[in-house]
Structure 1
Amino acid sequence: MKQVTTLFLKIAVIFIGIPVLALCIFLVPELGNISVKLLPELAFIKYIVFIIFYGSAIPFYFALYQAFKLLNYIDKNNAFSQISVEALKKIKYCAITISGLHVLALPLFYLFADKDDAPGVIFVGLVVPFASLVIAVFAAVLQRLLQEAINIKSENDLTV
Protein backbone atom coordinates (compact mmCIF):
# COMPACT_ATOMS: atom_id res chain seq x y z
CA MET A 1 0.00 0.00 0.00
CA LYS A 2 2.81 2.41 0.90
CA GLN A 3 4.54 1.83 -2.46
CA VAL A 4 1.31 2.64 -4.33
CA THR A 5 0.81 5.85 -2.36
CA THR A 6 4.34 7.07 -2.92
CA LEU A 7 4.14 6.07 -6.58
CA PHE A 8 1.00 8.20 -6.90
CA LEU A 9 2.79 11.11 -5.21
CA LYS A 10 5.84 10.70 -7.46
CA ILE A 11 3.59 10.86 -10.52
CA ALA A 12 1.88 13.92 -9.02
CA VAL A 13 5.27 15.61 -8.54
CA ILE A 14 6.08 14.98 -12.20
CA PHE A 15 2.69 16.30 -13.31
CA ILE A 16 3.19 19.43 -11.19
CA GLY A 17 6.40 20.16 -13.06
CA ILE A 18 4.92 19.83 -16.56
CA PRO A 19 2.59 22.89 -16.48
CA VAL A 20 5.33 25.07 -15.03
CA LEU A 21 7.62 23.99 -17.86
CA ALA A 22 4.88 24.86 -20.36
CA LEU A 23 4.43 28.26 -18.68
CA CYS A 24 8.17 28.89 -18.90
CA ILE A 25 8.25 27.97 -22.57
CA PHE A 26 5.10 29.70 -23.78
CA LEU A 27 3.88 32.28 -21.25
CA VAL A 28 7.05 33.94 -19.93
CA PRO A 29 8.24 35.19 -23.34
CA GLU A 30 4.74 36.47 -24.00
CA LEU A 31 4.72 38.26 -20.63
CA GLY A 32 8.02 39.86 -21.54
CA ASN A 33 6.61 41.12 -24.83
CA ILE A 34 3.45 42.39 -23.16
CA SER A 35 5.50 44.21 -20.55
CA VAL A 36 7.45 46.01 -23.27
CA LYS A 37 4.21 46.96 -25.07
CA LEU A 38 2.63 48.27 -21.86
CA LEU A 39 5.72 50.14 -20.72
CA PRO A 40 7.71 51.10 -23.83
CA GLU A 41 9.72 53.67 -21.88
CA LEU A 42 11.16 50.81 -19.83
CA ALA A 43 12.47 48.51 -22.57
CA PHE A 44 14.72 46.64 -20.13
CA ILE A 45 11.65 45.40 -18.24
CA LYS A 46 11.47 42.39 -20.55
CA TYR A 47 14.75 41.11 -19.14
CA ILE A 48 13.62 41.71 -15.57
CA VAL A 49 10.53 39.59 -16.28
CA PHE A 50 12.75 36.85 -17.70
CA ILE A 51 15.14 36.94 -14.74
CA ILE A 52 12.36 36.80 -12.16
CA PHE A 53 10.24 34.08 -13.74
CA TYR A 54 13.03 31.88 -15.08
CA GLY A 55 15.00 32.49 -11.89
CA SER A 56 12.09 31.25 -9.80
CA ALA A 57 11.71 28.15 -11.99
CA ILE A 58 15.14 26.92 -10.91
CA PRO A 59 14.35 26.64 -7.16
CA PHE A 60 10.90 25.31 -8.06
CA TYR A 61 12.36 22.35 -9.94
CA PHE A 62 15.02 21.85 -7.28
CA ALA A 63 12.24 21.66 -4.66
CA LEU A 64 10.37 19.13 -6.81
CA TYR A 65 13.55 17.07 -7.02
CA GLN A 66 13.90 17.21 -3.23
CA ALA A 67 10.27 16.12 -2.85
CA PHE A 68 10.96 13.21 -5.19
CA LYS A 69 14.02 12.25 -3.11
CA LEU A 70 11.92 12.49 0.06
CA LEU A 71 9.41 10.06 -1.43
CA ASN A 72 12.28 7.70 -2.27
CA TYR A 73 13.45 7.90 1.35
CA ILE A 74 9.95 6.95 2.46
CA ASP A 75 10.01 3.96 0.09
CA LYS A 76 13.33 2.81 1.57
CA ASN A 77 12.08 3.26 5.17
CA ASN A 78 14.45 6.17 5.72
CA ALA A 79 11.69 8.70 6.38
CA PHE A 80 12.83 9.31 9.96
CA SER A 81 16.42 10.20 9.16
CA GLN A 82 18.57 13.27 8.98
CA ILE A 83 18.60 13.19 5.17
CA SER A 84 14.82 13.64 5.17
CA VAL A 85 15.20 16.65 7.44
CA GLU A 86 17.79 18.09 5.04
CA ALA A 87 15.45 17.57 2.07
CA LEU A 88 12.69 19.44 3.90
CA LYS A 89 15.12 22.22 4.77
CA LYS A 90 16.07 22.58 1.09
CA ILE A 91 12.39 22.65 0.09
CA LYS A 92 11.83 25.40 2.67
CA TYR A 93 14.71 27.49 1.31
CA CYS A 94 13.51 27.00 -2.27
CA ALA A 95 10.02 28.20 -1.33
CA ILE A 96 11.46 31.25 0.43
CA THR A 97 13.57 32.02 -2.65
CA ILE A 98 10.56 31.75 -4.97
CA SER A 99 8.53 33.98 -2.66
CA GLY A 100 11.32 36.54 -2.51
CA LEU A 101 11.75 36.65 -6.28
CA HIS A 102 8.04 37.16 -6.83
CA VAL A 103 7.90 39.87 -4.17
CA LEU A 104 10.55 41.62 -6.27
CA ALA A 105 8.12 41.39 -9.19
CA LEU A 106 5.32 43.19 -7.32
CA PRO A 107 6.38 46.66 -8.53
CA LEU A 108 5.94 45.33 -12.08
CA PHE A 109 2.39 44.27 -11.23
CA TYR A 110 1.81 47.74 -9.81
CA LEU A 111 3.05 49.36 -13.01
CA PHE A 112 0.81 47.08 -15.09
CA ALA A 113 -2.18 47.81 -12.85
CA ASP A 114 -1.52 51.53 -13.03
CA LYS A 115 -1.17 51.47 -16.82
CA ASP A 116 -4.30 49.35 -17.41
CA ASP A 117 -6.23 50.92 -14.51
CA ALA A 118 -6.92 47.44 -13.08
CA PRO A 119 -6.07 47.27 -9.35
CA GLY A 120 -6.93 43.55 -9.18
CA VAL A 121 -3.71 42.76 -11.00
CA ILE A 122 -1.79 43.50 -7.82
CA PHE A 123 -3.71 40.78 -5.97
CA VAL A 124 -2.93 38.34 -8.78
CA GLY A 125 0.73 39.19 -8.25
CA LEU A 126 0.43 38.29 -4.58
CA VAL A 127 -0.77 34.72 -5.23
CA VAL A 128 2.60 33.12 -5.95
CA PRO A 129 4.54 34.77 -3.09
CA PHE A 130 1.79 33.92 -0.62
CA ALA A 131 1.53 30.30 -1.81
CA SER A 132 5.31 29.91 -1.66
CA LEU A 133 5.39 31.38 1.81
CA VAL A 134 2.71 28.91 2.96
CA ILE A 135 4.77 26.04 1.53
CA ALA A 136 7.89 27.36 3.29
CA VAL A 137 6.10 27.52 6.64
CA PHE A 138 4.61 24.05 6.13
CA ALA A 139 8.04 22.62 5.25
CA ALA A 140 9.55 24.31 8.32
CA VAL A 141 6.89 22.80 10.58
CA LEU A 142 7.39 19.35 9.05
CA GLN A 143 11.15 19.73 9.38
CA ARG A 144 10.86 20.60 13.07
CA LEU A 145 8.41 17.76 13.76
CA LEU A 146 10.57 15.27 11.93
CA GLN A 147 13.67 16.43 13.81
CA GLU A 148 11.85 16.03 17.13
CA ALA A 149 10.68 12.54 16.11
CA ILE A 150 14.25 11.60 15.21
CA ASN A 151 15.47 12.92 18.57
CA ILE A 152 12.81 10.94 20.46
CA LYS A 153 13.65 7.82 18.43
CA SER A 154 17.36 8.15 19.20
CA GLU A 155 16.61 8.64 22.91
CA ASN A 156 14.46 5.51 22.92
CA ASP A 157 17.18 3.55 21.13
CA LEU A 158 19.68 4.61 23.81
CA THR A 159 17.35 3.64 26.66
CA VAL A 160 16.84 0.09 25.43
Structure 2
Amino acid sequence: MKRGTTLFLKAAVILIGIPVLALCIFAVPEFANYTVELYPNMPYLKTLFFIDLYASAIPFYFALYQAFKLLNYIDKNKAFSERSVQALKNIKICAITISGLYVAGLPLFYLLAEKDDAPGVIAIGLVVIFASMVIAVFAAVLQRLLKEAIDIKSENDLTV
Protein backbone atom coordinates (compact mmCIF):
# COMPACT_ATOMS: atom_id res chain seq x y z
CA MET A 1 0.00 0.00 0.00
CA LYS A 2 1.30 3.43 -0.84
CA ARG A 3 2.52 5.58 2.00
CA GLY A 4 0.21 8.43 0.97
CA THR A 5 -2.87 6.30 1.61
CA THR A 6 -1.79 5.32 5.10
CA LEU A 7 -0.76 8.91 5.77
CA PHE A 8 -4.29 9.99 4.88
CA LEU A 9 -5.72 7.32 7.17
CA LYS A 10 -3.41 8.34 10.01
CA ALA A 11 -4.58 11.94 9.61
CA ALA A 12 -8.18 10.69 9.65
CA VAL A 13 -7.55 8.78 12.89
CA ILE A 14 -6.15 11.93 14.49
CA LEU A 15 -9.02 14.03 13.18
CA ILE A 16 -11.51 11.55 14.63
CA GLY A 17 -9.95 11.94 18.06
CA ILE A 18 -10.02 15.75 18.16
CA PRO A 19 -13.82 16.26 18.27
CA VAL A 20 -14.21 13.58 20.93
CA LEU A 21 -11.57 15.33 23.02
CA ALA A 22 -13.43 18.61 22.57
CA LEU A 23 -16.66 16.93 23.64
CA CYS A 24 -14.95 15.50 26.71
CA ILE A 25 -13.54 18.88 27.69
CA PHE A 26 -16.50 21.12 26.93
CA ALA A 27 -19.77 19.21 26.45
CA VAL A 28 -19.59 16.46 29.09
CA PRO A 29 -19.28 18.86 32.05
CA GLU A 30 -22.16 20.94 30.67
CA PHE A 31 -24.38 17.88 30.26
CA ALA A 32 -23.48 16.68 33.75
CA ASN A 33 -24.32 20.06 35.26
CA TYR A 34 -27.55 20.16 33.27
CA THR A 35 -28.49 16.74 34.64
CA VAL A 36 -28.01 18.03 38.18
CA GLU A 37 -30.21 21.04 37.36
CA LEU A 38 -32.95 18.71 36.14
CA TYR A 39 -32.64 16.39 39.15
CA PRO A 40 -31.43 18.50 42.09
CA ASN A 41 -32.36 15.79 44.61
CA MET A 42 -30.01 13.29 42.87
CA PRO A 43 -26.55 14.92 42.78
CA TYR A 44 -24.89 11.52 42.27
CA LEU A 45 -26.17 11.53 38.67
CA LYS A 46 -23.43 14.01 37.82
CA THR A 47 -20.77 11.57 38.98
CA LEU A 48 -22.41 8.67 37.16
CA PHE A 49 -22.60 10.77 34.01
CA PHE A 50 -18.90 11.63 34.26
CA ILE A 51 -17.93 8.03 34.94
CA ASP A 52 -19.93 6.65 32.03
CA LEU A 53 -18.81 9.12 29.38
CA TYR A 54 -15.19 9.48 30.44
CA ALA A 55 -14.85 5.72 30.94
CA SER A 56 -16.03 5.23 27.36
CA ALA A 57 -13.47 7.77 26.11
CA ILE A 58 -10.60 5.64 27.42
CA PRO A 59 -11.26 2.57 25.22
CA PHE A 60 -12.10 4.91 22.33
CA TYR A 61 -8.64 6.49 22.43
CA PHE A 62 -7.00 3.12 22.99
CA ALA A 63 -8.76 1.82 19.86
CA LEU A 64 -7.55 4.86 17.92
CA TYR A 65 -4.02 4.13 19.12
CA GLN A 66 -4.37 0.51 17.98
CA ALA A 67 -5.61 1.68 14.57
CA PHE A 68 -2.59 3.98 14.34
CA LYS A 69 -0.31 1.04 15.19
CA LEU A 70 -2.02 -1.09 12.56
CA LEU A 71 -1.38 1.59 9.95
CA ASN A 72 2.28 1.68 11.01
CA TYR A 73 2.48 -2.10 10.51
CA ILE A 74 1.04 -1.65 7.03
CA ASP A 75 3.66 1.03 6.30
CA LYS A 76 6.44 -1.33 7.35
CA ASN A 77 5.03 -4.20 5.26
CA LYS A 78 4.19 -6.15 8.41
CA ALA A 79 0.45 -6.18 7.86
CA PHE A 80 0.36 -9.99 7.84
CA SER A 81 1.72 -10.48 11.34
CA GLU A 82 0.51 -11.52 14.75
CA ARG A 83 0.88 -7.91 15.88
CA SER A 84 -1.78 -6.86 13.37
CA VAL A 85 -4.08 -9.62 14.59
CA GLN A 86 -3.54 -8.46 18.18
CA ALA A 87 -4.28 -4.83 17.23
CA LEU A 88 -7.55 -5.89 15.61
CA LYS A 89 -8.41 -7.96 18.68
CA ASN A 90 -7.78 -4.93 20.90
CA ILE A 91 -9.97 -2.76 18.67
CA LYS A 92 -12.74 -5.36 18.92
CA ILE A 93 -12.49 -5.46 22.71
CA CYS A 94 -12.53 -1.66 22.91
CA ALA A 95 -15.63 -1.46 20.73
CA ILE A 96 -17.43 -4.03 22.88
CA THR A 97 -16.39 -2.13 26.02
CA ILE A 98 -17.72 1.16 24.65
CA SER A 99 -20.98 -0.50 23.70
CA GLY A 100 -21.28 -2.05 27.16
CA LEU A 101 -20.61 1.25 28.89
CA TYR A 102 -23.27 2.99 26.83
CA VAL A 103 -25.74 0.18 27.55
CA ALA A 104 -25.02 0.67 31.25
CA GLY A 105 -25.48 4.43 30.84
CA LEU A 106 -28.75 4.23 28.92
CA PRO A 107 -30.82 4.69 32.11
CA LEU A 108 -29.02 8.02 32.64
CA PHE A 109 -29.87 9.05 29.09
CA TYR A 110 -33.46 7.97 29.70
CA LEU A 111 -33.70 10.14 32.81
CA LEU A 112 -32.29 13.09 30.92
CA ALA A 113 -34.61 12.54 27.95
CA GLU A 114 -37.67 12.05 30.16
CA LYS A 115 -37.21 15.22 32.16
CA ASP A 116 -36.08 17.36 29.22
CA ASP A 117 -38.65 15.81 26.83
CA ALA A 118 -35.93 15.08 24.27
CA PRO A 119 -36.15 11.50 22.98
CA GLY A 120 -33.22 12.17 20.63
CA VAL A 121 -30.86 11.71 23.57
CA ILE A 122 -31.82 8.05 23.79
CA ALA A 123 -31.47 7.70 20.02
CA ILE A 124 -27.93 9.09 20.19
CA GLY A 125 -27.06 6.54 22.87
CA LEU A 126 -28.51 3.75 20.75
CA VAL A 127 -26.58 4.93 17.68
CA VAL A 128 -23.32 4.82 19.65
CA ILE A 129 -24.13 1.30 20.87
CA PHE A 130 -25.01 0.11 17.37
CA ALA A 131 -21.95 1.75 15.78
CA SER A 132 -19.65 0.22 18.39
CA MET A 133 -21.09 -3.23 17.81
CA VAL A 134 -20.70 -2.86 14.03
CA ILE A 135 -17.05 -1.89 14.55
CA ALA A 136 -16.57 -4.87 16.89
CA VAL A 137 -18.04 -7.31 14.36
CA PHE A 138 -16.02 -5.78 11.53
CA ALA A 139 -12.80 -6.00 13.56
CA ALA A 140 -13.59 -9.61 14.48
CA VAL A 141 -14.12 -10.53 10.82
CA LEU A 142 -10.90 -8.79 9.79
CA GLN A 143 -9.05 -10.45 12.65
CA ARG A 144 -10.24 -13.89 11.57
CA LEU A 145 -9.44 -13.27 7.91
CA LEU A 146 -5.99 -11.96 8.75
CA LYS A 147 -5.31 -14.92 11.01
CA GLU A 148 -6.33 -17.33 8.24
CA ALA A 149 -4.15 -15.47 5.72
CA ILE A 150 -1.19 -15.68 8.09
CA ASP A 151 -1.79 -19.42 8.54
CA ILE A 152 -1.97 -19.96 4.77
CA LYS A 153 1.18 -17.90 4.29
CA SER A 154 3.07 -19.91 6.91
CA GLU A 155 1.89 -23.19 5.31
CA ASN A 156 3.11 -21.99 1.90
CA ASP A 157 6.45 -20.96 3.39
CA LEU A 158 6.87 -24.44 4.84
CA THR A 159 6.04 -26.25 1.61
CA VAL A 160 8.60 -24.36 -0.46
> Could you say what the CA RMSD is over the residues aligned between the two structures, in angstroms?
1.1
**What 5-or-longer segments of structure 2 have no aligned partner?**
none
Matches within 5 A, 1:88-127: 88-127=88-127
Moved more, 39-48 or 81-90: 39-48
- Mean Cα deviation higher: 65-74 or 104-113: 104-113
Amino acid paired to 2:44: F
1:54 aligned partner = 54
Q: Percent identity?
A: 76
Gaps of 5+ in 1: none
What is the TM-score when the length of structure 1 is the normalising length?
0.96
- Deviation for aligned residue 1:106: 0.5
Q: Deviations over 1:79-127 (max 9, x none)?
A: 0000000000000001111111111110011112221333343222211
C-alpha separation in 2, matches of 1:98 and 1:52: 9
Report the count of equivalent residues. 160
The one-letter amino acid paired with 1:143 is Q
Please give the TM-score of this superposition, normalised by the length of structure 2: 0.96
Distance 1:97 1:151 in 2: 29
**Structure 1 residue 40 and structure 2 residue 7: aligned?**
no
Q: Which is worse superposed, 138-147 or 124-133?
A: 124-133
Q: Structure 2 vs 1, CA of residues 19 and 118 (structure 1 numbering), >3 Å: closer, same or farther?
A: closer
Q: Does 1:10 align with 2:10?
A: yes
What code does the residue aligned with 2:113 have? A
Match of 1:132 in 2: 132
Q: Secondary structure at the match of 1:46?
A: helix
